[in-house]
Structure formats: C-alpha cells, structure tokens
A and B are shown apart, each in its own frame.
Chain A
Amino acid sequence: MADKTDNTVDFYDEITLERLEDLSGYEIADGYDNVVGWKVIADKEFRVGKVRGLIASKELGRILYLDVAVDESLRKAGGVHKHIVVPIGLVKLKEDLEIVQIDSIDADAFIDYPHYDGSDIDVDYERLIHEYYEKHSKVELQPYVGREAADYSEATKYDNKTMYGSRFLRGAEF
C-alpha cells in the first residue's frame, strides 16, 4: 500500500516511473514475487507471453506496471505488438504455477491496445493505457489526472477493479 506512512513521498508529489533494473538501489521487497519470466495468461487460457520487466515507482515503493513480451506465435497470428504494458492492479499471481493472469485482456484487445515500444513509460503513454482501460467493461476508473502520488493511492482510488490496487490476494478471484 502506498501512503505517507510507507514512503516519504508527499501526497501531492509527482512520482516517477522507471524500470526496476534501472533502479540500482532497489529490489523486490521480502515476501513478494519477482514475476519476471512468468507466463502471462489472459482470458483464462489465452497465452499472451512472458513478463519481460517491471515498471516501478520508487516514491510509492511498489511496482505499477508489468512489461510483457508478446509471444511470437501471437504476433504471427496478426498481432502487431512486441510488448504490452499491463497495470499491476489488473493481474492475479498464481505463484505455484508462476503464472500472471489478466482477465481484462482478450485477443481483441490487440486491435486497439496502445502500442508500446518497450522503453520508458511517459505520461502520454500512461494516459493512453488509462483511457484504454476506462473503456473496458470490467474496469471502472476515474479519469486520468496525472502522476501525483494521490492518484495512485488506495485512499482515493482503491476498489476491486482499480488499476493500481494494493491489496494482495494471491491466487484469489477479484
């Protein structure tokens, strides 16, 4: 959970997003899984690819997005994305199988999913991701405001369908 008691970031400070491998002074906290390399499954049995990297906010002290490398087979079938970015709040982790499950993505998602080049996530791209999921029937979101810490806080945005929810329910249903 990201709040002032966990982190030194002020509620209205702007956060930064960086790949965890570039944050040399940071690592996965004890008791949490490093999901890099885990298979990503969407819509129950539709294999998307593998987790390639983790996008973190050092101010909030947690991962906000997963960088997923799309399977070659999926791209040959008509997909154009090499990588997609998935908000952490929309996935479930099945650590016994090392699977990341996303119920809010299906094959159709690749038609208009925001294209990601595999580099940093700037504000504009994050907005696109947000807008994509705002249209999604299974996800309810407030309009994207920006990168203030408050916008990612459980206190203001948490519900069972938030993109950045901080409740950790291993293997549990939403």
Chain B
Amino acid sequence: MAEIKIKKKTPIVPWILGLILLAAVLGGVYFAFQVDDIYEKNNDNVAMADELPDNEITPVDDATVVGTELIPLEVNTFVAFANEENGYEEDAEMGVHHEYTGKSLRYMGDAIVALAEQKGMTDEINAKALHSDLDAAADDIQKNWKETDHADHIRAAFLKVSTALNKLAYTSNDTNLKKEARDIDPNTLTLNQKSDVKEFIDKTAMVMQKIAMEE
C-alpha cells in the first residue's frame, strides 16, 4: 500500500530578499568603482580643487590658453610626471628612486628649455647647456645608482634648475612667484631623505607651471 507524505515548502522569500540585497551590495560596489574610473579618466588624474593635497600641481591641458600663450607641452609633461604617484613610493628600493629622480631631471630639462623659449630667455639662462647637464646627471644617477655620492650630484643638478627658475621668475611681476622660486633652493634640503627629492620636484613643477601661465 502506498504512502505519499507532504511537507511545508521552504520559504523562498528570504532567499529572494537575500539575493536582492547581495545584488544591491555588489552593484553598489561595482558602480562605485565605475564612478571612480570615470572620474579619474575625465579628470586625467587631476584632483578636485578642494581635495588638492599639499604640493599637488594641477596639469593644464595642452590646449589651455592663458592670455595669448599656450602652456608648453614639456611643462605639462613634467607637471603630470610630478603628480604621478606610481613612480614614487616612499618605501621603494633605492634603485627605483634613482630611476624616478633621473627621469625627473630629464623632464625638468625639457621643461626649462621650453620655458626659456617662451620667455625669450634661452641664451640668458643658457638653457641648452643646462638641458645637457641635467641629462648627463640623469644618466649618471640611473646608470650608476649604487654609487654613494648621488646626493651631491642631485643637489648640484637641482641647484642649476633652481638658479634658472629664479632668473625666469625674476621677470615676473608676481612677488609671490619670485618667493616661491627662491623657496625651491635645494640647499634647504638635506637630500638624505627620499621625500626631500620628491618635495623639490613638486615645488619645481608648481613654479614652472606658474611661470608658464604668466602673460
């Protein structure tokens, strides 16, 4: 003889609600990441003005018109490089920092030449020779990064840069800019700390950008 038992159905509503909740959470996380990506792409790694950390320099779009002058591409390239945190990490190995410093010197050289041409001061600051000196210093730092006297080489290169920027800024009517240019004197830095190098690069990028934006 037969028997057929019945049972209460397992309620599916809690499962459905749970799945909906999970989907909502996952969707929210996904959406948040998407928004971040879009934000970063749209802003080209530029932080919002009210979120700018200290020493953060905002790159100006190549097509940005200031008065009748364009910001030189080389200056924007250097500013973007200074803003890029990927190449600089406080606790990275020494070789990485030398690589970063070497690159920064090359970009600085390009930017100074472009600034000098913009201001008509190429000969006055001997821009081409400075460019060569900076490239040579970069070569030395990157190829022989295990040497122990790099701090001296870096300081010497930075001194040349700050001297040139002082001259370029001196033509400005902006006294604050002149002061900022003087403040990037590497003599104020010990250069024993990796962060000192980064600080110099950031300040230099900021001053270069301001000089380039002056009419």
Contact = CB atoms under 8 A, between A and B. Distances in A.
A165 B6 contact: no
A24 B1 CA distance: 27
Interface residues of B, number: 9
A30 B8 CA distance: 11
A93 B3 CA distance: 9
A33 B4 contact: yes
B41 interface: no
B2 interface: yes
A153 to B, nearest CB: 13
A62 B8 CA distance: 11
Contact of A61 (B2, B6, B9): B6
A91 B2 CA distance: 6
A106 B160 CA distance: 115
A88 B3 contact: yes
A58 interface: yes
Contacts of A63: 3-6
Interface in B1-57: 1-9
Interface centre among B1, B3, B8, B9 (most CB of A within 10 A): B1
Contacts of B4: 28-29, 32-35, 54, 62-63, 88
Contacts of A167: 1, 3
Nearest to B10: A27
B1 A90 contact: yes
B3 A29 contact: no
Contacts, number: 67
Contacts of B7: 26-30, 61
A169 to B, nearest CB: 6
A126 to B, nearest CB: 18
Interface in A97-141: 100
A26 B1 contact: no
B2 A89 contact: yes
A26 B9 CA distance: 5
A63 B7 CA distance: 11
B11 to A, nearest CB: 8
Nearest to A89: B1
A30 B7 CA distance: 8
Contacts of B3: 1, 32, 62-63, 88, 165-168
Contacts of A169: 1
A134 B3 CA distance: 21
Contacts of A24: 9
A32 B9 contact: no
B139 to A, nearest CB: 77
B1 A27 contact: no
Nearest to A62: B5
Contacts of A92: 1-2
Interface string A1-39: 100000000000000000010011111111011110000
Nearest to B7: A29
A168 B6 contact: no
A29 B9 CA distance: 9
Listed residue (B4, B7, B9) with the most chain A CB atoms within 10 angstroms of its CB: B4
A20 B3 CA distance: 15
Given A20-B6, A23-B6, A29-B5, 16 more contacts: A26-B6, A28-B5, A29-B4, A29-B7, A56-B6, A58-B6, A63-B3, A63-B6, A88-B3, A91-B2, A160-B1, A165-B3, A167-B1, A168-B1, A168-B3, A169-B1
Nearest 7 CB-CB pairings of A with B? A29-B5, A168-B3, A63-B4, A29-B7, A165-B1, A93-B2, A32-B4
6 contacts: A25-B8, A28-B7, A92-B1, A100-B2, A168-B2, A169-B1
